[in-house]
Chain A
Amino acid sequence: DIVLTQSPGTLSLSPGERATLFCRASQSVTGSYLAWYQQKPGQAPRLLIYSASSRATGIPDRFSGSGSGTDFTLTISRLEPEDFAVYYCQKYGSSPLTFGGGTMVEIK
């Protein structure tokens, strides 16, 4: 199974700053089948990005994804107060679906 490792575990930033989150796969992710989700406390995850770089419907353009192979990045260009949350990457395209351990973006 492909293992996804997210880094850093926690990112402490201020509103307006740029956030860069990483997701590294133990093997190449075929077809860039990589998604990103945002989860706020007490809420279900929300899809942000699919196919490594395509924004889901209604997702602001300050969120962007990039990468291929084994290394993927989620960038939030300017953090808004509502962006402080936990972010997960997910590999799809084949069995099993797997998730990274998450990166918490907290207010500095």
Chain B
Amino acid sequence: QVQLVQSGAEVKKPGASVRVSCKASGYTFTGYYMHWVRQAPGQGLEWMGWINPNTGGTSYAQKFQGRVTMTRDTSITTAYMELSSLRSDDTAVYYCAPSWGGWDWLDPWGPGTLVTVSS
């Protein structure tokens, strides 16, 4: 079955960068887009973008353009999301989730990684 394992919680200072990983198994990693969605404490879901693991192509939400970089390592079936110039309002749980196409529903979701930005 599909399994997504995300890296552990992070605490970062404002202005720093964070990289979150998402290791996928149980399906053909290069056959599905990988999305990243975040959720601030007590808030709703916010789509950040996707990466096509086959080509490395990406599409980012306008809000995160210039601050987010999504990459992948197909040899270890792992996707990465790096967010730079962190601010306190970047404190959130970051989820990875695959989809068949770039603009499809997301299923399943990884367990999430809490990133806390605090001085």
Contact = CB atoms under 8 A, between A and B. Distances in A.
Interface of A: 33, 35, 37, 44-47, 50, 56, 88, 90, 92-102
Interface of B: 35, 37, 44-47, 59, 61-62, 95, 97, 99, 103-112
Given A97-B35, A98-B47, A99-B47, A56 B107 contact: yes
Given A95-B59, A96-B62, A97-B35, A88 B105 contact: no
At the interface, is chain A mostly helix, strand, loop or mixed?
loop
B108 A46 contact: yes
B103 A35 contact: no
A81 B61 CA distance: 36
Given A44-B97, A94-B103, 5 more contacts: A44-B111, A44-B112, A92-B99, A92-B103, A96-B62
User: Which of B35, B95, B103 counts the most chain A CB atoms within 10 A?
Assistant: B103
